[in-house]
Amino acid sequence: MKPVVRRIPSRLRGLTLLEMTIVLLILMTLLGTSLVVNRKFTEWRRGREAAEQLRIVYSAQRLFLSDNPTVAVNTITAAQIIPYLPTRATALPTVKSLTGANLTILVNVSPPIINNGSGAYYDPSANRTDNLWDVGE
């Protein structure tokens, strides 16, 4: 006996316009969400890198002050700190802001802070103890 093969009418095959629209909306939502998550991750990563650079400078600053206990913190210069950097760098490290600008580290305060370009404190996380963009407490 031969099996019976049923054929689907041609008008019922394929996707309807509504189904295609729903699939496209879901894909666009997933893409938009991933872009937002990626931007936040990039901001977090820059903050962690800045905190790591600050810790390196802070360690060098403490080593310098342990060798020179009579030096006031507000008179310390970058040239005095550079020989104490553990990475044997020839200059103080810099960090990137959220906009991609290179920022310097001020060593004449303890703990060191990131200079926003005008001598003011830079910390977009708005919390000086979260260990992002700062050494923390």
pLDDT of amino acid 29: 93
Verify cis geometry, omega within 30 degrees of 0, for the bond prior to 111.
yes
- Residues 104-127 have a mean pLDDT of 82
pLDDT in tens, 39-91: 888 888 888 888 899 899 999 999 999 999 999 988 999 899 999 998 788 88
Mean pLDDT, residues 4-10 taken together = 67
What does the pLDDT look like over 98-111, one tens digit per residue? 888 888 888 888 88
Q: CA-CA-CA-CA torsion for 124, 127, 129, 134, nearest 10 degrees?
A: 20
pLDDT of residue 25: 94
Average pLDDT, the chain: 84
